[in-house]
């Protein structure tokens, strides 16, 4: 049997050969320096924080170089695949507003000329290249069973040797075509392995765009390239896909750095140009003083849906991710607060080599700043969308009290230094519920009266305020002026300085009086600006709320 016949026999019924695909996916017509980058998630669980981190990073690289950013779904591990895995990935990118030039846009549709963008639909393509390798004696069928491999692993462990299928351990490597053919005729199951031309004794240098120069031994392991189910392994699919899709920069998690010798060797064996590689470090968490990678299993925040639920605006989230991508982003943003995220230029040089620490406090801060900057109307619309999914009670209130809600959100917003009252969509309602009449039925013992607690005194203050000093039409200055006069009348200090000098001369001070009014209206001793609350509630509601206490 010739090698060609052997290859035909092992990989039958393949319509097209490698030449066909090489022509079908020609070099991209892009300008000098344009980067072709991708994110390649597997639909094996919820979308990981790291995937979006990578998305923010590479989208920026593509945009700023007039390049291409595409998404490739890596679903060759069908045992681990989850239902709706692909939709979840598409939705996540949509939710974060990370647009891609090419890739799946629904479970069955895609855009771009270099697809299919999902590996399970690329079987024929992989096979064409496997066939080519067999013909060139760079791949062979291997019959070693999982049990035998387990035994091999055990043996290597005992000998404290290097693990893997190489050298004399790669026992099927030297089977003749006839011997292998015989086994197949006898019904023995097989996979296809790459026949590594490498020598482990050789050290070679690789240039990683993030990690710099790394020295590693040449690969000599005969890795599986085509599994028993006819699908490729990651190693092979990576090489074929990134070649045919003309990826210029493979940006991926640094758990793959150690596989670089395998991948470079395969690129070369196939006669492909080797892309550039960048292995940024993952996002880390600190636990018991030790750093570890953020993990799907242990960290709820690894699941990006968590942030959606809490209601961190996407913009703040993306800003946060950018601070992790490039260490100089924050400084740039401080100087350019009105620019867009894409105006910042991501560089490999400024990527963190050792892994950035996940920092929820920072996310909250960015979120606070962002929510303080948008208009009340925009905030309202965002809350409407968020609450529709996560808080139906609040949603109803927002719909029934649109004008009022916007006024509440607008308290001290239109100012040079707006208040930063809200850190997420989910913490708006707990901060303002008392403004909605239908929610304001608080038992008296829960009112947070502070210094002034006596019922008779409270009643007196409220009565005097309502009958003599409250006027719906007052401006803030007029209102405050009257509060002072009232203080004098009731024996409280209207001036804090005077009070501090002679506290014994007074029953209390203007802050204590304000607290009484504030608590009477809201039950809380801490609220946004009292004057605004009075304005929004209006005379009738103020009277109703006071009368409960008078
Ligand atoms: N599917 C691989 C992963 O999720 C992608 C690695 C790569 O970007 O090449 O780890």
Atom index in ligand 1 nearest the CA of residue 38 equals: 8
Burial environment of residue 49 by CB neighbours within 10 A (0 to 12, 13 to 18, 19 or more): buried
Query: Does any ligand 1 atom lie closer than 6 A to the CB of residue 74?
Result: yes
Which pLDDT value is given to residue 356? 85
- How open is the CA angle 447-399-380, to the nearest 5 degrees? 80
Q: Which two tokens stand for residue 207?
A: 């240039």
197-241 pLDDT, tens digit per residue, is: 999 999 999 999 999 999 999 999 999 999 999 999 999 999 999
Atom index in ligand 1 nearest the CA of residue 54 equals: 8
138-166 pLDDT, tens digit per residue, is: 999 999 999 999 999 999 999 998 999 99
Q: Mean per-residue pLDDT for 458-478?
A: 96
Which pLDDT value is given to residue 82? 86
| CA 252 – ligand 1 centroid, Å | 6
Query: Does any ligand 1 atom lie closer than 6 A to the CB of residue 241?
Result: no
* 213 secondary structure, DSSP code: E
| CA 336 – ligand 1 centroid, Å | 34
104-144 pLDDT, tens digit per residue, is: 999 899 999 999 999 999 999 999 999 999 999 999 999 99
pLDDT tops 90 at residue 79? no
Query: Does any ligand 1 atom lie closer than 6 A to the CB of residue 38?
Result: no
Query: Does any ligand 1 atom lie closer than 6 A to the CB of residue 356?
Result: no
Residue 131 makes CB contacts below 8 A (sequence gap 6+) with: 7, 8, 10, 11, 14, 17, 18
How many CB atoms are located within 10 Å of the residue 14 CB?
17
Q: Mean per-residue pLDDT for 54-70?
A: 98
pLDDT tops 80 at residue 296? no
| Ligand 1, pocket-test mutation among 38, 39, 41, most atoms within 8 A of CB | 41
Q: Mean per-residue pLDDT for 246-258?
A: 96
Residue whose CA lies nearest to ligand 1 atom number 5:
40
Q: How far apart are CA 76 and CA 509, in angstroms?
A: 72
Q: Mean per-residue pLDDT for 235-250?
A: 98
Q: How far apart are CA 56 and CA 319, in angstroms?
A: 9
Q: How far apart are CA 241 and CA 539, in angstroms?
A: 69
pTM of the model: 0.90
Going from the N-terminus, what domains does the chain have, and what CATH number goes with each?
123-278 (3.40.50.620), 284-373 (1.10.1160.10), 374-436 (no CATH), 440-550 (1.10.10.350)
Query: Does any ligand 1 atom lie closer than 6 A to the CB of residue 368?
Result: no
Which pLDDT value is given to residue 246? 98
Q: Would you place residue 61 in the very low, low, confident or very high pLDDT band (cuts 50, 70, 90)?
A: very high
Q: Mean per-residue pLDDT for 174-182?
A: 97
Q: Which of 437, 368, 372 is nearest to 410 (CA)?
A: 372
Which pLDDT value is given to residue 302? 84
| CA 58 – ligand 1 centroid, Å | 14
| Ligand 1, pocket-test mutation among 53, 253, 266, 279, most atoms within 8 A of CB | 253
Residue with tokens 């009112």: 447
Which pLDDT value is given to residue 354? 82
Which pLDDT value is given to residue 351? 93
pLDDT tops 90 at residue 170? yes
Q: Which two tokens stand for residue 131?
A: 């066939």
Q: Mean per-residue pLDDT for 280-301?
A: 86
Rounded alpha-carbon distances, angstroms, from residue 392 to 164, 387, 399, 426, 449: 56, 6, 10, 12, 31
Which pLDDT value is given to residue 411? 94
How much of the chain, in percent, has pLDDT values that exceed 90? 89
Query: Does any ligand 1 atom lie closer than 6 A to the CB of residue 537?
Result: no
| CA 41 – ligand 1 centroid, Å | 6
Residue with tokens 């550039």: 276
Helices (H), 314-375: 314-325, 329-335, 360-373
- Strand, coil or helix: what is 143? coil
pLDDT tops 90 at residue 52? yes
Query: Does any ligand 1 atom lie closer than 6 A to the CB of residue 41?
Result: yes
Q: Which of 256, 209, 290, 225 is nearest to 35 (CA)?
A: 209
Q: Would you place residue 475 in the very low, low, confident or very high pLDDT band (cuts 50, 70, 90)?
A: very high
Q: Mean per-residue pLDDT for 519-546?
A: 96
Query: Does any ligand 1 atom lie closer than 6 A to the CB of residue 321?
Result: no
pLDDT tops 90 at residue 288? no
Which pLDDT value is given to residue 81? 84
Q: Which of 439, 417, 422 is nearest to 380 (CA)?
A: 422
433-453 pLDDT, tens digit per residue, is: 999 999 999 999 999 999 999
Q: Which of 360, 325, 319 is nearest to 341 (CA)?
A: 319
| Ligand 1, pocket-test mutation among 235, 252, 277, 282, most atoms within 8 A of CB | 252
334-374 pLDDT, tens digit per residue, is: 999 889 999 999 999 999 888 888 999 999 999 999 999 99
Which pLDDT value is given to residue 303? 87
pLDDT tops 90 at residue 477? yes
How much of the chain, in percent, has pLDDT values that exceed 70? 100
Atom index in ligand 1 nearest the CA of residue 255 equals: 10
């Amino acid at each position: 049997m010739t090698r060609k016949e052997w290859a035909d026999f092992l990989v039958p019924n393949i319509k097209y050969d490698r030449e066909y695909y090489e022509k079908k996916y020609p070099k991209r017509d892009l300008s000098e320096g344009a980067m072709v980058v991708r994110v390649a998630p597997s639909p094996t669980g919820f979308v990981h924080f790291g995937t979006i981190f990578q998305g923010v990073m590479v989208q920026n690289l593509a945009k700023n170089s007039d390049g291409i950013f595409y998404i490739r779904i890596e679903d060759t591990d069908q045992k681990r695949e989850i239902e709706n895995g692909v939709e979840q990935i598409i939705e996540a990118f949509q939710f974060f507003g990370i647009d891609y030039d090419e890739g799946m846009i629904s479970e069955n549709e895609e855009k771009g000329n270099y697809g299919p963008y999902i590996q399970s639909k690329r079987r024929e393509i992989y096979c064409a290249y496997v066939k080519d390798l067999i013909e060139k004696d760079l791949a062979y069928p291997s019959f070693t069973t999982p049990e035998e491999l387990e035994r091999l692993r055990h043996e290597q462990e005992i000998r404290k040797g290097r693990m893997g299928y190489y050298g004399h351990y790669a026992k099927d490597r030297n089977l003749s075509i006839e011997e292998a053919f015989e086994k197949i005729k006898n019904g023995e199951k097989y996979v296809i392995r790459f026949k590594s031309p490498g020598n482990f004794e050789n050290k070679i240098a690789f240039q990683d765009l993030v990690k710099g120069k790394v020295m590693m031994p040449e690969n000599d392991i005969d890795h599986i390239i085509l599994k028993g189910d006819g699908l490729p392994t990651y190693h092979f699919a990576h090489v074929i896909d990134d070649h045919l899709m003309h990826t210029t920069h493979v940006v991926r998690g640094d758990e793959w750095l150690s596989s670089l010798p395998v991948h470079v060797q395969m690129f070369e064996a196939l006669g492909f140009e080797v892309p550039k590689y960048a292995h940024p470090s993952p996002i880390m968490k600190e636990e018991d003083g030790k750093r570890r990678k953020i993990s799907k299993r242990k960290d709820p925040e690894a699941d990006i849906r968590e942030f959606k639920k809490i209601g961190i605006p996407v913009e703040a989230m993306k800003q946060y991710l950018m601070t992790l991508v490039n260490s100089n982003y924050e400084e740039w943003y401080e100087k350019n607060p009105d620019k867009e995220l894409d105006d910042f230029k991501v560089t490999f040089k400024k990527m963190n080599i050792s892994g950035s620490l996940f920092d929820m406090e920072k996310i909250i801060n960015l979120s606070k700043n962002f929510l303080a900057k948008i208009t009340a109307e925009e905030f309202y619309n965002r809350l409407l969308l968020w609450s529709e999914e996560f808080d139906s009670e609040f949603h109803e209130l927002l719909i029934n009290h649109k004008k009022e809600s916007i006024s509440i959100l607008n308290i001290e917003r239109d100012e040079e230094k707006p208040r930063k009252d809200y850190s997420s969509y989910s913490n708006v309602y707990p901060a303002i519920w008392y403004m909605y009449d239908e929610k304001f039925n608080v038992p008296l013992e829960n009112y947070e009266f502070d210094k002034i607690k006596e019922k008779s005194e409270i009643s007196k203050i409220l009565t005097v305020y309502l009958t003599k000093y409250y006027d719906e039409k007052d401006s803030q200055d007029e209102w405050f002026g009257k509060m002072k006069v009232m203080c004098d009348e009731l024996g409280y200090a209207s001036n804090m300085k005077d009070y501090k000098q002679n506290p014994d001369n007074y029953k209390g001070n203007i802050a204590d009086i304000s607290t009484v009014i504030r608590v009477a209206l809201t039950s809380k001793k801490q609220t946004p600006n009292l004057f605004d609350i009075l304005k929004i509630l209006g005379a009738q509601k103020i009277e109703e709320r006071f009368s409960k206490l008078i």
